[in-house]
Amino acid sequence: MITALAVLSGYLIGSIPTAGSLGRLRGVDLRAEGSGNPGTANALRTSGVALAAVVLAVEAAKGLAAVSTGDWLGDESGAIAAGLGAVAGNVYNVWYRLQGGKGLGISFGVLAGLWPVSLLPILVVMVAGVLISRSAGIASLVAISALIVSAILWASNGWSTGGVEPGARLVVLAVGIGVLMFWKHWRDSPLSSHVPR
């Protein structure tokens, strides 16, 4: 019951359409311009660094808020459940007919609350992926893979996460984030165009 409540709370927090609202305040409809994705990358593409930074900060804050709410409801299990709920709410947004963002910004906030020591390595992997592949979609897929592999390594070796206990729950967190985000990043990457339809 508490886990379900944590997931629902996280979902509702994650689904708040903040990126679209912030874009409209700047006179930009993120769902109609650029890639049509209401997120940080499209904010950067359509309006520049300032709006992108604000969107990223607000999305990350939503992730942190969801984790904090889940922790209040049910300690570590509740925090993880709410964090995954927040990512689901962002990607499969009920206010946008389940067509929301790609989950990167809010996942940053979720990881900041639950596994902060992973942020720098994953960021380095993603930047390297962009520089090598010239594709944000491919870089995101590489980062998702790195997150899951890292979770397995952390859990297997009992390394400090700076947040949750380094065990099976950490792997659940990483795999859950990866599963929720994978399809949109795959669909928008050059890799999907090479798959027979």
24-45 pLDDT, tens digit each: 877 777 777 777 777 777 887 8
Helix axis angle for 18-25 and 49-91, nearest 10°, is 150
Q: How high does pLDDT run on average in the chain?
A: 88
Per-residue pLDDT band at 95 (split at 50, 70, 90): confident
Per-residue pLDDT band at 5 (split at 50, 70, 90): very high
Instruction: Give yes or no for residue 191 having a pLDDT over 80.
Output: no
- In the chain, what percentage of residues exceed pLDDT 70? 97
Question: What is the domain partition of the chain in residue ranges?
Answer: 2-194
What is the mean pLDDT of the segment spanning 67-92?
A: 95
> What pLDDT score was predicted for residue 76?
92
The mean-pLDDT minimum among 21-30, 68-77, 170-179 falls in 21-30
The two three-digit tokens of residue 140, written as one number: 């995101």
Instruction: Give the predicted TM-score (pTM) of the model.
Output: 0.90
Measured CA angle at 195 (ends 190, 197), to 5 deg? 120
> What pLDDT score was predicted for residue 197?
38
Per-residue pLDDT band at 49 (split at 50, 70, 90): confident
Task: Report the alpha-carbon distance of residue 2 to residue 74 in Å, rounded.
Answer: 6
Backbone φ and ψ for 30, nearest 5 degrees, come out as -65, -20
